[in-house]
Amino acid sequence: MTSDVKFATTLGIFGNQSDRWCNSGYKQDKGVKELFEAASQVEELDGVELFGTWHINENNIDEIAQLKEKYDFGISTLIVDLFVNPKYGNGSLASMEPEVRKDAIEDVKKYMDIAPKLDCDILDIWLGQDGYDYPFQVDYDKAWDLLLDSFAECADHNKDVKLSVEYKIREPRNHLYLATVGKTLALLEKLGRDNIGITMDVGHGFFAYENVAESVVLCKKFGDKLFHMHFNDNYGFADDDLMVGAFHMQDYLVLIYLLKKIGYNRWFSLDQFPYRDDGIGACRESIRMLKALIEAVDSVDPKEIEKVITEGDATKSIALIRKMIFKK
Amino acid sequence: MTSDVKFATTLGIFGNQSDRWCNSGYKQDKGVKELFEAASQVEELDGVELFGTWHINENNIDEIAQLKEKYDFGISTLIVDLFVNPKYGNGSLASMEPEVRKDAIEDVKKYMDIAPKLDCDILDIWLGQDGYDYPFQVDYDKAWDLLLDSFAECADHNKDVKLSVEYKIREPRNHLYLATVGKTLALLEKLGRDNIGITMDVGHGFFAYENVAESVVLCKKFGDKLFHMHFNDNYGFADDDLMVGAFHMQDYLVLIYLLKKIGYNRWFSLDQFPYRDDGIGACRESIRMLKALIEAVDSVDPKEIEKVITEGDATKSIALIRKMIFKK
Amino acid sequence: MTSDVKFATTLGIFGNQSDRWCNSGYKQDKGVKELFEAASQVEELDGVELFGTWHINENNIDEIAQLKEKYDFGISTLIVDLFVNPKYGNGSLASMEPEVRKDAIEDVKKYMDIAPKLDCDILDIWLGQDGYDYPFQVDYDKAWDLLLDSFAECADHNKDVKLSVEYKIREPRNHLYLATVGKTLALLEKLGRDNIGITMDVGHGFFAYENVAESVVLCKKFGDKLFHMHFNDNYGFADDDLMVGAFHMQDYLVLIYLLKKIGYNRWFSLDQFPYRDDGIGACRESIRMLKALIEAVDSVDPKEIEKVITEGDATKSIALIRKMIFKK
Amino acid sequence: MTSDVKFATTLGIFGNQSDRWCNSGYKQDKGVKELFEAASQVEELDGVELFGTWHINENNIDEIAQLKEKYDFGISTLIVDLFVNPKYGNGSLASMEPEVRKDAIEDVKKYMDIAPKLDCDILDIWLGQDGYDYPFQVDYDKAWDLLLDSFAECADHNKDVKLSVEYKIREPRNHLYLATVGKTLALLEKLGRDNIGITMDVGHGFFAYENVAESVVLCKKFGDKLFHMHFNDNYGFADDDLMVGAFHMQDYLVLIYLLKKIGYNRWFSLDQFPYRDDGIGACRESIRMLKALIEAVDSVDPKEIEKVITEGDATKSIALIRKMIFKK
């Protein structure tokens, strides 16, 4: 399977990352050229993923197209900025302020227009500011109506561009509307548009105490909605965006097995924040770990795996894991 | 609002509760007569909720009908036993063993037949054993197919009896299929049956890091699916089934406000496990706390509440909470 | 009790707060004069707490002294910057790089020299960068040796200035050495210096699943180590630094009761990050909520509270909470 | 290292496990003879650990001694029952009822007398009922005084028998006094007795968001207090007592490396609850997984590991993990 997989990363992995204390960032800022140049040093990389405004906007499309060509990268997705601009601090597609919501919709449409120019057919939509922090702060019913309306309007703008919704249970808001795979699937069912689906950020799934493998199966089952994958790791209590291999191992094995089984054949894209660590190294090591995990899964005959799953005897599940990982 | 609310409790609150260490239970076992007698000592109580097998089965329907009449209790719901019988240890409605799954479906149907004889139109279905503990232990896709088939067959057995699905993120299994409000709504949407809805166990919502107030709004929004309410409290890390008032306070205020707003007019039913505490006292105190919370919400003009919610200024949200609770 | 309490806040509450996405901050930057001016608008405020470098450094001591006098504020504590400067990104007092560790020690000493000039006898030391993110990333044993050595050296610099250690379980590092009240008490015991104690940041305690009331009792018991209090709120999964009253209510009641009982008579200081909310309002509302909580505790005769605690009957505990809060 | 390690298990792994719903247990009860017989089928097993009352009491010492001899098992530890007997439901060594506390102390002393008769020099003391569930339910200060007094009295009963305290953050009580490694170390420091130390139940550490490897280093550092190890696994939110290998993998690698480095040479003992799974298989698979983990650690030169740890470059930490596990 390894040879078939296309690896990508968000370009920001090579840049400077800040947090609420160290707001200058732990490293040095880099321009988009330098970021592409850094990406080119990771031999395993086939594509990059660009944050709107930070890396790509209406003024630098040609420059990006050239960089993409120069380094022979695909663009795995564009991430619309609905969370960096302070204007969206209290919400974007579900903002209670009509002007703000209108801007957010326009921003999505703008990137729907840009994407095809970069041979990219998909946008990542993460509504990190659409939620709430306090009791009695928001009208939940109205917020969901706005979400439905905004998504419908965006999706209908161009049916050939996919909108891939990335859910997350919290952070930066204390509660986000699109929190779990289930809430997102319920929204998509209601929307009934073919070009809206789900970005499964593995770390967001872990954070919501989901078994991500079950979640991708549900995305497939409820309308073939698995559009994109984000890989990283965390300790289950926050969206740490660590390198793959930091903590979850067995969950990754099952996930990789099921991605193959359900026929997922799009990008394996990293979304990490190596605040204190070398970005090139962090990217490279995650891909190497992913490859090792894929090979571990591939090392066991799928019939044998299916047999274990069908029997349901957990002692055999543990033995299977030992065999996959330790070859004994 | 208080005067309109009908309070009920699971009958088990008055009995003996055990856990995995103290498996004899921390108190003394009681028969169903004694449990009803205990319930009758809680003046605020209008109804009781019975666990299948433990309290109600095909052989004691008349006895229960008499007790119910004697004490003038409504039966808020019957809880089908799909989790006490060790037969269901590896699953019930989603069991991979055809015989076990058939038994589970028959058990649901049996209680669908019993309920109307007790003037009860609703069953609570909690699939506490349908899930998994280990990686590579189960075929998620097949499990969801079985869930869908089983629920469809049960629902079609008698359209006049409601099936109210109670979700929970984990416990006793490490992952339960029906884990969150979102996954459950996605299932219900797929089922498309009017007589299947949701029991919102408040503690299960807290446990899944849901804002339960938003969750009940979604149940209403996505098909009018809020069928039943279970009240209790916990610290967010397990289904502690504590008395109301132990921990969550503000979340209860918002929830009560929204239950009223969306027109929920069915039972307020307790589901608690007072392992070491007096059951009668635990029941009474939870209802008194619920009444105090309801009065706190009612003490502020709904127009003022709506104004705060519409403005979205969190400092006013905190001021509103202070006013509701502390009258200052 | 309310009348005796001195309220303070970190000055940063009135400024601009950023996070890892919105790194420009959700509001506008403010200078230290503006921050003091904002603080002066909160009538309930008796003091302010200053972040080193951000608000106070060796070059503006006189300016701060004048502002302090102008507005008649006490300085509740100075917070040494061991976490904003990227130099400390991989650790400060426990840094494996001798030069960095030396700088960190010098920074502490520098603020020990500055504090008395502002009539302040205490520094807050939060080691937010001293920890680790990955397995096999650090030598735990050596790190603890360095912690012990650095703290000893700092403490001995001036025994009249208190060093108040603020623990936190994680964030920004995935694991922090000084994670819990227990680990911190074990460290202090080993250090055996009178002028090192603990800042109990209430939110950090909640985050570590501590009952903060028990934690302050232990600080008192194990060497009279409760030096300072930080108030805020969160949902238990991160250091949200919300306004008091957002989530925890009952825990605050017990805490306030016990602070009184053990004779804590130093500052009640807020440490909040109102990213999207008005800083003045956020400060004012937290203090008003704290006052309401204090009055709720004071409204019940301590003998009655002690009676409930002594009996250990949880149904009476719930009744007591209802009485404190709802007066019924 | 594998060849040097002595593996044991709690005997209960081979029996019947119940929970609060399925209180009959998911399997069949077994007598102590059958349990020993089952243990003998696990060829990798060198010893067993007995629960007081359930498996061992003053009346069956001879029988146990014979079984032990027959199967050539060591007794890794005796676990004093301070949590199964409903008498201890509200506390044992910290019980506010003098008679109950006296009984608990006597029970500890009784097992201190029994242990040497089985060539066992250590008791495991887990205070699972000593804690609280509600605010205003207990006098924390008094509880800690009682803990200190009780432990001192027990320890002084026979200085040649070790008391090994097993901490846990919660469950069955919502808060346990001995919650974390830090609180337990602070208690031990105060006690100042050589024969009281710590049982590191790995799952309890994970549950408290500890890096267990750091915790064992601290046990060593603060008075050479690492007396015993319990192995199992969980998902971080409860004490699931699963087989080793279910979830944590990297944490186990670091832990095993450090146990070796600090010279831990006592038992590797399993403490699991395979509710629905075959006990013999669950025991065998955990030991096989532990052996695979030990071999993985041993496969890399310690100098190389130390180099990675000393450098602190996380990308090299991930590469090291990949090498240990996947040999690439």
| The 3-state secondary structure of C82-119, one letter per residue | CCCCHHHCCCCCCCCCHHHHHHHHHHHHHHHHHHHHHC
Stretch (H or E) spanning B47: strand B47-51
Q: What is the pLDDT of residues B2-51, one digit of tens each?
A: 568 999 999 999 999 999 999 999 999 999 999 999 999 999 999 999 99
- Per-residue pLDDT at C27 exceeds 70: yes
Please judge whether C315 and B243 are an interchain contact, meaning their C-beta atoms are less than 8 angstroms apart: yes
Q: Kindly report the CATH number assigned to the domain that includes residue D249.
A: 3.20.20.150
**Chain C residue with the nearest C-alpha to that of D320:** C136
Interatomic CA distance for residues B234 and D231, integer angstroms: 28
Min Cα–Cα distance to chain D from B100, Å: 15
Structural domain harbouring A86 = 2-298
Residue C324 lies in a domain: no
Interatomic CA distance for residues A182 and D191, integer angstroms: 51
For A198-226, the DSSP string reads EEEEHHHHHHTT--HHHHHHHHHHTTS-E
Task: Say what the pLDDT of residue A9 is.
Answer: 98
Find the farthest-apart pair of alpha carbons in chain A and give their distance in angstroms, rounded. Answer: 61
Residue B310 lies in a domain: no
Residue C6 lies in a domain: yes
User: Could you tell me the pTM of the whole model?
Assistant: 0.97
Choose between C311 and B1: higher pLDDT: C311
Chain C residues with CB under 8 Å of D184 CB are: 182
Q: What is the pLDDT of residues C117-129, one digit of tens each?
A: 999 999 999 999 9
Number of structural domains chain A divides into: 1
B322: nearest CB among C289, C314, C326: C289
User: Tokens in use for A24?
Assistant: 């200058």
Could you identify the residue written with the tokens 């901490």? Answer: D167
Min Cα–Cα distance to chain D from A175, Å: 20
Residue A317 lies in a domain: no
Residue C310 lies in a domain: no
ipTM: 0.97
Mean pLDDT of chain B: 97
Mean pLDDT of chain C: 97
**Chain B residue with the nearest C-alpha to that of C292:** B326
Task: Kindly state the average pLDDT of the residues C194-198.
Answer: 98
Distances (CA, A) of C104 to B190, C154, C251: 60, 10, 35
**Chain B residues bordering chain D (beta-carbon distance below 8 Å):** 17-27, 83-86, 89-90, 128, 133-135, 170-172, 174, 235, 237-238, 240, 242-243, 246, 273, 275-276
- C-beta atoms surrounding D257 within 10 Å: 25
Residue type, B186: A
Chain D residues with CB under 8 Å of B52 CB are: none
User: Tokens in use for A252?
Assistant: 């990754």
Please judge whether D318 and A246 are an interchain contact, meaning their C-beta atoms are less than 8 angstroms apart: yes
Please judge whether C275 and A17 are an interchain contact, meaning their C-beta atoms are less than 8 angstroms apart: no
Q: What is the pLDDT of residues B271-326, one digit of tens each?
A: 999 999 999 999 999 999 999 999 999 999 999 999 999 999 999 999 999 999 99
**Chain C residue with the nearest C-alpha to that of A54:** C21
- Helix (H) and strand (E) counts in chain A: 11, 10
**Chain C residue with the nearest C-alpha to that of D262:** C141
Chain A residues with CB under 8 Å of D38 CB are: none
A84: nearest CB among C21, C171, C235: C21
Looking at chain B, the whole-number percentage of residues with pLDDT higher than 70 is: 99
pLDDT less than 70: residues of chain A: 1-3
Report angle CA C222, C227, C228 to the nearest 5 degrees.
130
Chain A residues with CB under 8 Å of C236 CB are: none
Please judge whether A278 and D326 are an interchain contact, meaning their C-beta atoms are less than 8 angstroms apart: no
Interatomic CA distance for residues A195 and A198, integer angstroms: 10
Residue D75 lies in a domain: yes
3-state DSSP call for residue D122?
A: strand
B285: nearest CB among C274, C292, C319: C319
Residue type, C326: F
Task: Say what the pLDDT of residue A2 is.
Answer: 60
- Per-residue pLDDT at D301 exceeds 60: yes
Please judge whether A250 and D250 are an interchain contact, meaning their C-beta atoms are less than 8 angstroms apart: no
Task: Say what the pLDDT of residue C2 is.
Answer: 60
- Per-residue pLDDT at D3 exceeds 70: no
Q: How many CB pairs under 8 A join A and C?
A: 92
Task: Say what the pLDDT of residue B1 is.
Answer: 55
Task: Say what the pLDDT of residue C3 is.
Answer: 65
Q: What is the pLDDT of residues B31-43, one digit of tens each?
A: 999 999 999 999 9
- C-beta atoms surrounding C298 within 10 Å: 15
Q: What is the pLDDT of residues C252-303, one digit of tens each?
A: 999 999 999 999 999 999 999 999 999 999 999 999 999 999 999 999 999 9
Q: What is the pLDDT of residues A87-137, one digit of tens each?
A: 999 999 999 999 999 999 999 999 999 999 999 999 999 999 999 999 999
CB C47 within 8 A of CB C76: yes
Residue C20 lies in a domain: yes
Chain C residues with CB under 8 Å of D186 CB are: 182, 185-186, 189, 218, 222
Residues whose CB is less than 8 angstroms from the CB of residue B14 and which lie 6 or more positions away in sequence, other chains included: B30, B34, B35, B38, B39, B279, B280, B283
My answer on whether omega of the bond before C274 falls inside 30° of 0, hence cis, is no
CB A89 within 8 A of CB A97: no
Beta-strand ranges (E) seen in chain A are 7-10, 47-51, 74-79, 122-126, 131-132, 162-166, 175-176, 196-201, 226-231, 268-270
Please judge whether D237 and A209 are an interchain contact, meaning their C-beta atoms are less than 8 angstroms apart: yes
Of the candidates A90, B296, D175, B320, the one whose C-alpha atom is nearest the C-alpha of residue C245 is: B320
Residue C154 lies in a domain: yes
- pLDDT band for C4, please (50, 70, 90 cuts): confident
Interatomic CA distance for residues B44 and A60, integer angstroms: 69
Please judge whether D318 and A245 are an interchain contact, meaning their C-beta atoms are less than 8 angstroms apart: yes
Task: Kindly state the average pLDDT of the residues B75-92.
Answer: 97
